[in-house]
Amino acid sequence: MSSHRSIRRVLRKVAAPAVGAALAVGLSVTIATPAAASGSYSGRAYVYGSGTVSDDFDDEGVVNVTTHRNSNVACLWQTILWANGYLPSSGIDGIFGDQSDAATRNFQRDRGLVADGSAGRNSWTKAGDRISQQDNQNGWLYVVFDGVTGARSAYSSHDFVLQRSPDGNYRFYGPSTSGPYWAHYNTRTC
């Protein structure tokens, strides 16, 4: 019987520091900030929306030559530039380089924004003015981006389709109807 008591005392002595260490580690993990890689103002890793689609792009994050340069969000932004007549379809590769920077500056300038070449909240909000919900199938919202028409576009106008999942995450189809690609800040598959 005494051996059981001594084993319990040893276990308590060993367990107390282990539990304390686990709590300390747990607290540091709990208070750690989420990875900054998602980049959206909502803190999500995907282009995200809820409620009506008209304001879904209003809190999207930055994409430019240094932030989320190689990503599906860069590819989505390039597709938006293409649909607005600022980028040829051959410029859609998910790598935000000099051509995307120049096209973004032109997009911004034409909309009265600061032409800094960085697609941030204001640029996404202006782009979102051209999206509208077309259909709801089993919780999936089918959204159309209304591309420009007429002589304004040197690359001919195209609308393109986006889908918002029941979870609110967006995916999109490229101009050659390739895809769908999840509009993710941290991966590039387009």
pLDDT single digits (tens) 98-107: 999 999 999 9
Check residue 176 and give its pLDDT: 75
Top-confidence residue, 1 or 181: 181
Lookup: tokens for 65? 């030559």
What would the mean pLDDT of 139-148 be, rounded to a whole number?
91
**Nearby residues of 71 by Cβ (< 8 Å), 6 or more positions away:** 63, 94, 184, 185, 186, 187, 188
Distance CA(1)–CA(99), nearest Å, equals 80
Domain spans of the chain, in order of start: 1-32, 37-182
The answer to whether residues 120 and 111 touch, using CB atoms and an 8 Å cutoff, is no
| Angle at alpha carbon of residue 190, lines to 91 and 93, rounded to 5° | 15
- pLDDT band of 179, cuts 50, 70, 90: confident
Tell me the per-residue pLDDT of 59-116, one tens digit each, with 9 for 90 and over: 898 999 999 999 999 999 999 999 999 999 899 999 999 999 999 999 999 999 999 9
